[in-house]
């Protein structure tokens, strides 16, 4: 987890950031990492954020990759700390929490998405951390929603995490996220208006095509609903001939996933299980994105420990979830089914059961959502209080460091005030 021999993505990041700073084309020409040519597909603000890696002339590509890996490792630990602290209502004590976080972190960095993230020196954990820090209970210094807005300005997909705020009727956080994301985009636009127009006018609308990602989006690593649908076609020619039909099927699955995910999240929120609801939102985001490479699923390093905790403690979830979590944790820690048949395989030529297995993380996400839904029967919903769930307030069950430390009146244990800063 702590080193990489060929950090291809961080090389592309550096090349894209240099092109942005030097006034060269950012999106119309591919970036090069040795003999690999890949497009830079992040918004202009993403290029700006990555500029320090490009400006450090004395920093080799390998060293830059190791910087990204080290940062990702530290941020994963911080995410796990906040998530586990919220899950346990801060009752473990610092030493026990530190030990628990260390054990879970050690397992997390071994998971296949984290290993691939490190191999490519990807930015996924940084994006995840911005979202997590915006959602978990903690002391806040910026308006809640700010960090998700910034994350979305770096990479578009975190916009989907606003569903969490929408279901809590926390419209203020949605507005804050929109303003912060827009402000970040404007900063980048002031430096490179041409690149901003090109990205939001052309590149963004062609996302999901092989030409824009530089890799065939039917590639087995694409663990999204769209990738799954595309691979089920018997040939590339058949897929191309029925592209409208495949897109309609994908769109229908997206609507169903968002609808069912929103229902599940709302049910979890009514049970004051905000961490769970946020992680379900992350699963929905990964499923509906046109492209969710295996290394985008770094969220599993948070999702699986939370599911395991719910199995063992509060929820007493059914044996189904225990089996799902155990099986998939073992697979994610080792070699997921998508790689059982080799790398860069002819996915259209696979047998139906093989195509099913290749979409492993899609089925994992669906299975986890289904298990969460089954578990709702054993947890009573709390009344919808205007001050609390409806108003977007932090619930007492997952209240971080405690009401007093967060500046709340500890006597108001059933309806703490809405956080103002992040």
186-214 mean pLDDT: 82
Mark which of 205, 233, 250 sits at the end of a domain. 205
Could you tell me if 152 and 279 lie in one domain?
Answer: no
In whole angstroms, what is the distance from residue 413 CA to residue 422 CA? 21
Please state, rounded to an integer, the average pLDDT across all residues of the chain. Answer: 85
Looking at the domain assignment, is residue 85 inside a domain? yes
Looking at the domain assignment, is residue 420 inside a domain? no
Closest CA to 17 of 60, 64, 54: 54
pLDDT band at 381 (very low <50, low <70, confident <90, very high): confident
pLDDT at residue 402 above 50? Answer: no
- Distance from chain centroid for Cα 361: 13
pLDDT at residue 401 above 60? Answer: no
Could you tell me if 98 and 133 lie in one domain?
Answer: yes
Could you tell me if 200 and 222 lie in one domain?
Answer: no
pLDDT at residue 216 above 90? Answer: no
Burial class of residue 193, CB neighbours in 10 A (0-12, 13-18, 19+): exposed
pLDDT at residue 352 above 80? Answer: yes
In whole angstroms, what is the distance from residue 47 CA to residue 199 CA? 12
Could you tell me if 73 and 182 lie in one domain?
Answer: yes
In whole angstroms, what is the distance from residue 186 CA to residue 181 CA? 9
pTM: 0.87
Closest CA to 221 of 119, 127, 116: 116
Could you tell me if 344 and 266 lie in one domain?
Answer: yes
Could you tell me if 309 and 199 lie in one domain?
Answer: no
Could you tell me if 189 and 296 lie in one domain?
Answer: no
Q: Print the SS3 string covering the chain.
A: CCCCCCCHHHHHHHHHHHHHHHCCCCCCCCEEECCEEECCCCCHHHHHHCHHHHHCCCCCHHHHHHHHHHHHHHHHHHHHHHHHHHHCCCCCCHHHHHHHHHHHHHHHCCCHHHHHHHHHCCCHHHHHHHHHHHHCCCCCCCCCCHHHHHHHHHCCHHHHHHHHHHHCCCHHHHHHHHHHHHHHHHHHHHHCHHHHHHHHHHHHHHCCCHHHHCCCCCCCCCCCHHHHHHHCCCCHHHHHHCHHHHHHHHHHHHHHHHHHHHHHHHHHHHCCCHHHHHHHHHHHHHHHCCCCCHHHHHHHHHHHHHHHHHHHCCCCCCHHHHHHHHHHHHHHHCCCHHHCCCCCCCHHHCCHHHHHHHCHHHHHHHHHHHHHHHHHHHCCCCCCCCCCCCCCCCCCCCCCCCCCCCCCCCCCCCCCCCCCCC
- Distance from chain centroid for Cα 164: 13
87-114 mean pLDDT: 91
Mark which of 155, 176, 205 sits at the end of a domain. 205
Q: Number of structural domains, the chain?
A: 2
Domain interval for residue 34: 1-205
163-181 mean pLDDT: 97
142 contacts 149 by C-beta, under 8 angstroms:
no
Antiparallel, parallel or unpaired: β 36-38 and 31-33: antiparallel
In whole angstroms, what is the distance from residue 68 CA to residue 229 CA? 33
pLDDT band at 180 (very low <50, low <70, confident <90, very high): very high
Looking at the domain assignment, is residue 280 inside a domain? yes
Can you tell me which residue has the tokens 């225990």?
322
Looking at the domain assignment, is residue 402 inside a domain? no
Percent of the chain with pLDDT over 90: 65
Could you tell me if 140 and 224 lie in one domain?
Answer: no
pLDDT at residue 363 above 50? Answer: yes
pLDDT at residue 420 above 50? Answer: no
Lowest-pLDDT choice from 220-229, 277-286, 318-327 = 318-327
Which residues, 6+ apart, have CB-to-CB distance to 24 below 8 Å? 18
Burial class of residue 348, CB neighbours in 10 A (0-12, 13-18, 19+): middle
Could you tell me if 197 and 294 lie in one domain?
Answer: no
pLDDT tens string 134-155:
999 878 889 999 999 999 999 9
Q: What is the pLDDT of residue 403?
A: 36
Could you tell me if 177 and 325 lie in one domain?
Answer: no
pLDDT at residue 318 above 50? Answer: yes
Mark which of 205, 234, 265 sits at the end of a domain. 205
pLDDT tens string 5-58:
678 999 999 999 999 999 999 998 889 988 888 899 999 999 999 999 998 888
Looking at the domain assignment, is residue 210 inside a domain? no
223 vs 140: which has the higher pLDDT: 223
β-partners of residue 231 are none
383 contacts 255 by C-beta, under 8 angstroms:
no
Looking at the domain assignment, is residue 422 inside a domain? no
pLDDT at residue 385 above 90? Answer: no
Looking at the domain assignment, is residue 380 inside a domain? yes
286 contacts 265 by C-beta, under 8 angstroms:
no
340 contacts 221 by C-beta, under 8 angstroms:
no
pLDDT band at 398 (very low <50, low <70, confident <90, very high): very low
pLDDT at residue 279 above 90? Answer: yes
pLDDT at residue 188 above 80? Answer: yes
pLDDT band at 383 (very low <50, low <70, confident <90, very high): low
pLDDT at residue 322 above 80? Answer: no
Could you tell me if 232 and 305 lie in one domain?
Answer: yes
Closest CA to 94 of 105, 84, 109: 84
Q: What is the pLDDT of residue 329?
A: 77
59-74 mean pLDDT: 93
Looking at the domain assignment, is residue 353 inside a domain? yes
Could you tell me if 199 and 227 lie in one domain?
Answer: no
Can you tell me which residue has the tokens 């089925």?
363
């Amino acid at each position: 987890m702590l080193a990489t021999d060929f950090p291809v993505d961080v090389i592309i990041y550096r090349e894209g950031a240099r092109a942005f700073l030097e006034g060269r084309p950012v999106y119309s020409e591919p970036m090069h990492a040795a003999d690999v040519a890949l497009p830079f597909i992040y918004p202009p603000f993403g290029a700006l954020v990555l500029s320090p890696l490009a400006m450090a002339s004395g920093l080799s590509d390998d060293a830059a990759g190791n910087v990204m890996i080290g940062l990702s490792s530290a941020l994963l630990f911080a995410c796990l700390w906040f998530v586990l602290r919220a899950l346990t209502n801060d009752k473990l004590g610092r030493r026990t929490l530190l030990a628990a976080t260390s054990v879970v972190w050690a397992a997390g960095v071994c998971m296949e998405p984290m290993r691939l993230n490190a191999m490519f020196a990807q930015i996924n954990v940084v994006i995840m951390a911005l979202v997590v820090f915006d959602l978990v209970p903690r002391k806040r210094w910026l308006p809640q929603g700010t960090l998700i807005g910034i994350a979305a300005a770096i990479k578009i997909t975190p916009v989907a995490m606003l569903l969490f705020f929408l279901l809590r009727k926390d419209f203020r956080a949605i507005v804050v996220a929109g303003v912060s994301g827009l402000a970040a985009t404007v900063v980048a636009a002031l430096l490179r208006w041409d690149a901003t127009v090109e990205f939001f006018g052309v590149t963004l609308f062609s996302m999901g095509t092989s030409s824009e990602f530089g890799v065939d989006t039917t590639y087995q690593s694409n663990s999204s609903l769209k990738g799954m649908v595309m691979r089920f076609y018997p040939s590339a020619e058949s897929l191309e001939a029925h592209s409208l039909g495949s897109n309609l099927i994908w769109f229908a699955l997206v609507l169903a996933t968002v609808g069912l995910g929103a229902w599940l999240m709302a049910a979890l929120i009514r049970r004051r299980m905000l961490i769970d609801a946020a992680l379900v939102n992350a699963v929905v985001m990964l499923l509906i994105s046109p492209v969710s490479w295996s290394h985008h699923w770094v969220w599993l390093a948070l999702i699986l420990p939370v599911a395991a905790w719910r199995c063992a403690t509060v929820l007493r979830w059914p044996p189904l979830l225990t089996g799902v979590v155990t099986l998939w944790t073992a697979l994610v820690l080792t070699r997921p089914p998508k790689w059982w048949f080799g790398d860069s395989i002819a996915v259209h030529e696979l047998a139906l059961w093989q195509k099913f297995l290749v979409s492993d993380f899609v089925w994992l996400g669906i299975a986890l959502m289904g298990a969460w839904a089954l578990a709702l029967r054993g947890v009573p919903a709390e009344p919808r209080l205007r001050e609390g769930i409806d108003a977007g307030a932090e619930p007492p069950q997952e209240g971080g460091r405690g009401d007093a430390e967060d500046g709340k009146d500890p006597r108001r244990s059933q309806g703490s005030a809405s956080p103002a800063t992040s």
